[in-house]
Amino acid sequence: MTQYDPRELRNAFGTFMTGVTVVTAKTADGTPIGFTANSFSSVSLDPPLVLVCLANSSSNYQAFTSADGFAVNILSEAQKHVSNTFARPVEDRFATVDWRDGPNGGPVIDGVSAWFDCSMFKTVEAGDHIILIGKVEGFEANAAPGLGYARGAYVTPAAELAALEPHHDMIVSVLVQLDGKVLLVEAKDGLVLPEGRVGKDGVSQTLQAVVSSTGMTAEPGFIYSVYEDSDRKSQHITFQCAAEDGQPTLGAFTDLSDENLQRVTDPATRTMLHRFREESRIGNFGIYYGNQQSGHVRTITAGR
């Protein structure tokens, strides 16, 4: 390209939605350093690799490129303040958060959706940035919805929830997913999602009660589906819901096989679950269903 306007290019880059990370390391004298970045990508499962991009002009450039490794903290939706703190000049950024050393020595921050503590695998010079590729030496993840970023502003499920008021008969259900399986409950007329009718306590409270009833540690995320339930004269809203490992006390995690989907007798729910099955194939490490494409769980031994 011979002529272009960097302002327009920057805006075009911004059309790609991202999460928000804080990338951290320790300087030679042990001081924790970190910066907010959204140029993160998972790269490889085996060996486990991730990447982030760092500006050549960054004051952290020397420290990060000479470090033994770095940690990537995937911020949760409650951590806008952490994102802001690590994005602007602040005297002691780490004084404002709770953090500890990860297994590889990288600072990991409390309350994140996930963290990856990495050894340095490779660095790649790429224009006005350098790509840091890290080998994951340890990681942790939980059900907290991630903070999103789109076209220069944060995106969170919390904003959706705040806008919803129980205006007439409203039913909320949760799509609790774990490793590609969905929590379905045996009802008298087939399999259904865990659900509840919104009472005077409001949408948030009802959602929490529905999640609690399943016995899982899970947090409602973005709205997944909305439809008019004409049989029950209600508006029906389904929320995405990530779960931590565990055993439900209500229902069971169910493969979305054709056979199981036939046991979902409500047409709207069945259509939605079909759609969910399709969508889970997306991405680098999409969750696959069915015999031909089933993922297999491995515990492998990998030398550093």
Distance of alpha carbon 231 from alpha carbon 269, whole angstroms: 13
Q: Is 295 in the site for a second copy (CB under 8 A)?
A: yes
Tell the smallest beta-carbon distance from residue 194 to a second copy (Å): 17
Nearer to a second copy, 63 or 133 (CB): 133
Joined together, the tokens standing for residue 39 give 């140029």
Of 92 and 245, the one with the shorter C-beta distance to a second copy is 245
CA distance 139 to 121: 16
| Sole window of 24-32, 62-70, 119-127, 251-259 interacting with a second copy (rule: CB under 8 A) | 119-127
Of 187 and 286, the one with the shorter C-beta distance to a second copy is 286
How far does the chain reach from its first CA to its final CA, in angstroms? 41
- Partners of 55 in the beta sheet? 129
Residue 141 lies near a second copy (rule: CB under 8 A): yes
**Structure-token match 């990991």, residue found:** 108
Binder among 91, 98, 282, 291 for a second copy (CB under 8 A):
282
Residues 214-233 touching a second copy, rule: CB under 8 A, are: 221-226
Among residues 71, 198, 211, 242, the one that binds a second copy under rule CB under 8 A: 242
- 63 or 141: CB nearest a second copy: 141
- CB of residue 29 to a second copy, shortest distance in Å: 26
Q: Residues binding a second copy: what is the number (CB under 8 A)?
A: 118
d(CA 172, CA 193): 10
* Shortest Å, Cβ 191 to a second copy: 19
User: Under 8 Å CB-to-CB from 108, ≥6 apart: which residues?
Assistant: 24, 71, 73, 99, 100, 101, 102, 115, 117, 140
Cα-based distances in Å from 12 to 5, 149, 151, 182, 214: 11, 14, 9, 36, 42
Among 100, 163, 230, 259, binds a second copy (CB under 8 A): 163
Q: Which part of the chain contacts a second copy (CB under 8 A), choosing from 184-192, 194-202, 234-242, 256-264?
A: 234-242
171 binds a second copy (CB under 8 A): no
Q: Quick one: DSSP state of residue 78?
A: T
Q: How many Å separate Cα 230 from the centre of its chain?
A: 33
**Binding to a second copy, residues 64-83 (CB under 8 A):** 74, 80, 83
In terms of CB distance, is 28 or 153 closer to a second copy? Answer: 153
DSSP H or E segment with residue 116: strand 114-126
Q: Are 63 and 120 in contact (CB under 8 A)?
A: no
How many whole angstroms separate alpha carbon 23 and alpha carbon 170?
A: 41
Window contacting a second copy (CB under 8 A); options: 62-70, 114-122, 184-192, 246-254: 114-122
Please give the DSSP secondary-structure letter assigned to residue 97.
Answer: S
Residues 183-212 that bind a second copy (CB under 8 A): none
- As measured in angstroms, the least distance from the Cβ of 217 to a second copy is 14
Query: Segment 23-52, which members bind a second copy (CB under 8 A)?
Result: 36-51
Tokens of residue 71, six digits: 């940690």
From the list 238, 211, 48, the residue with the least C-alpha distance to 143 is: 211
Q: How far is the CB of 28 from a second copy (least distance, A)?
A: 24
